[in-house]
A and B are shown apart, each in its own frame.
Chain A
Amino acid sequence: MDTAYIELTAAQVALAAFLIVVNGAVSVLLHLGMTKLWLVASLRTIVQLLLIGCVLEWVFQVQQWYIVLALMMVMTLMAGHAAVTRSERRFHGIWLNTFLCVWASSWLMAAFAVFLILRRTATWYEPQYAIPLLGMLLGNCLNGISLGLHTFTSALVSQRAEVETLLALGATRWEAARRPVQHAVKTGMTPIMNGMMVVGIVSLPGMMTGQLLSGIPPIQAVKYQIVIMFLIASATAMGTVGVVLLAFHRLFNARHQFLYQRLQ
């Protein structure tokens, strides 16, 4: 079949896999003890991607809104789960807060892209757009959310005495927690901010590279990438601010008390 991209055969993929054998050999030679890890990581890459490939093939074929929606929900739940498990400290309500923020920020931005930018109102569920868009938003959003959560809870633990001193001096809960909140939100947004600063100079993003490989004209690929970067930046900001503020409300009550015991 004549396509705009080069179709890969199993032999070509196997050739790339050979590179991992070299990594394994280096590990053996330097006694790094990573040979088994390389093997497991490589197998997981193959199996996980083949599985999602099969699922996507089927979803792309059936083109039913409820199947796309279900897949998007599963992806969101997985992202929320990953965001919480990356946080060292837990508190009552962390799961609900995190799922809510991952879901709201990613879905809102995906909807913005599908309905307002791409204008696929009647066929919003076209998996070609909805799934990769949401996937990229979720992946970046969960990074911001988990970083923000981790930084906020760690700052509250390390600066507990400072926070309580401010409260004792008559500060409101917001005045007492303002510094940790600001620090957490800034930290959560740093990766996407850094990414935006160097994109196109030191790195070509994966999505844009993929589009170029599939034969899309470079300027079109760039336009898509710019849209994606802005969507990701907005979703990350929304998710990070949301999760930190919700955590603040869980850990400081209306009586301006820091509920330190809730942090585990």
Chain B
Amino acid sequence: MSDPTVVSPSWLEAHCESVTVVDVRSRRDYEDLGHVPGAVNVPAAEFRDPSRVAAGKLPSADDFAALLSEAGIDPDDSIVAVCDEQGVNAARFLLTAAVYGHDGRLSLLDGGLAAWLEDGGDLTDETPDPTPTSYEAELTDDAPLVDRQAVEAAVEGDAIVVDTRTPAEYDQSHIPGAVQVGWEDLLDESGRLRPEDELEELLAAKGIRPEERIVLYCNTARRLSHTYVVLGDLGYEDVAFYEGSLTDWVRSEAAEWNPVELEARVRSYADAGGFEAMIEELGEDVTNHLKLIGLYHQKQEGYFMLRTRAPGGILTAEQASVIGEVADEFARAPEEYGGPDQNPVFGDGYLDLTTRQDVQMHWIRIRDVDEIWSRYEAVGLETMQACGNSVRNVVGCPAAGIDPNETVDVRPVVERVSERFLGDPHYANLPRKFKISVTGCHENCARAQIQDLAFTPAIRDGRDGFAVRAGGGLSDGPRVASDLELFVEPDRVEELVEAVADLYVDYGSYLDTAVNRLRFLVEELGVERFREELASYADFEFETPDEVLTTDYRDDHVGVHEQTDGRSSVGLNVPTGRMGGDEFRELARLADELGGGELRLTPNQNLLVPHLADERLESFLEASVVDRYGPDPGPFSRGIVTCTGREFCNYGIVETKNRAIRWARDLDEWSEAVGIADEREAVRVHLSGCSASCAQPQIADVGLRGEVYRDDYESGRAADVGLGGDLGNDEFIDWLVGKVPIDDVPAVVRAVTLAYETDRDEGETFAEWTRRRSDVELRNLVSEAAGTKPAAIGTEAS
């Protein structure tokens, strides 16, 4: 590859016949503002590709070749690149051409277009019409790209790491040991390169000498390109660049993302000024990091949601009792937010059971977390990595070990995976969150399709184990997890999770936050390639399953069930997952006294109390708290699931819990009145306050997602409505009608419920019915019930 150099406007003037000038400004600027005569246009936006998940910001070789060929450039053309940003984008172009093996000379126009004009150069608006070439690009073997590991080595002393950003940026954060030389420091006031002796002096002062090995970085690999060209021009021979740059580094290595250190730091503020002092000393950004230790800053400044993990949903009665007590004591709103009357339905001191078998509570203060964590430690509870970009609470079969029909008791597997990643800083800072579930029964009760990585029972050569799926998820860009056709034994699960996490760290982008969940990587690589890559990360031979054992989908555990050992488990129904801390504590007491000292949380925000011997079952069922969350609820109370919503969440567009519990109660009454309460065991209505899908609306019978609507005179809260989620058939809902005013939602639910009752075939489930009816019919049904205008599009086809 050829090393770029710098040329002056007068040089270009003299050589313009023999070189190809590449103008990297936007097409519009190139056309409208004029350009160097004969220059072709290759806009920077087209050769920078920050969207790719699996690579840096370099375009793919094919894309780059296509661009150059379209611009009529041959591999041995001598190129002078020009831009109007003092050379940054032009340098980026040259660097890209260099790593893709351009043979001809590569030069940067010193001072860019401004210098060209200043020295009397002309501009033209005549656009050349280049003949396409057959340009081919391939990453050269000696391309000076280095990865994170190489930078780590450089930090250890085998190279000089240079930060090409401003001193202010450098002061804020930088790679340890890096020296700062802002790319603009190399330019004079007019934007041209300083004289060579000045440059050498400036560089030498920072220890950057031609004989040293040098690694450059900035934030997004743009500015470093300029320095790269300048150093090449000065004759530095061993210059490399870190394409991932600081963003990648900070996310993967920084101490502020180390959960153990972070927890210790936060605890220290308990007696030293609490929230205000913490923000003062650690900066507002710290609230982002706190998620890693289970603390989400609520909408109400200075108060947090605390998420407690329960791997596989399993809590000892003692742990549950502590959680209940903590909620009762600390999850209390201050007077200014209503105190004991903060919530008109639930009062104060309550907690929320979640769809990932966690427990959340609100109004937690930084002053209180040290005490809370101390109480938690005494009983082995954790909030660490309950949130943030790490392995989240591992979801497991709520009936693990007690279900007469299970193949594998997943409890030890869940525990091993949880333990493996807890507190490990390397895995506490993945590109994005990483959600895992392990199912041991035949009914997919840990919801494999919506996980980043999921295990469901399978057999290979008579051995029990798991089939593996990867790349599922909901929210924005939902995807059903792909079957990897991979069998793993229970003992290998932990290793496989580690292999996936390693692959994710290497391939995943730390930059493209919006699209870097594992599912986007699986989609980009394709299932086959993903599996192949994964094989290279795992220390064992991959096998395919002989038989997968999932036969059905179970969406809750409500009711009284017989266990393998003849005792009973009682599935309670906690509509919307919210209950008083005191109630939770009371249930813990009952589980201890009458059951086996254990409680289980389920993925639809409910509770299961196992190990009730026949002679104690009766007294358990008679307890008033059990009666309140009784195992025989109405169909809507049984099916309702919601996220936290606007009450506390910064993102929630609509309030969810209070609204949904009222809906459920009214709809239960209605279903009694119209005589369908006995027909329908459960109607699953999931209400998510925004598109983040914390209530998993895409797997519900009726999925709802917070929105707003507006007409000429009013605006208000609304919901998007979708129907027919069915994990038994790998089906998510389709969003049928957008922006239904929120108060019209119950009417919509009634209408679709009735339409199904009237129209269904024998044995047909709700989801099957929605698939039999066309989307047009369903859209009309929803729109009419809501009194909204018929949907604007999609009415022609189903």
* Chains A and B form a bound pair: no
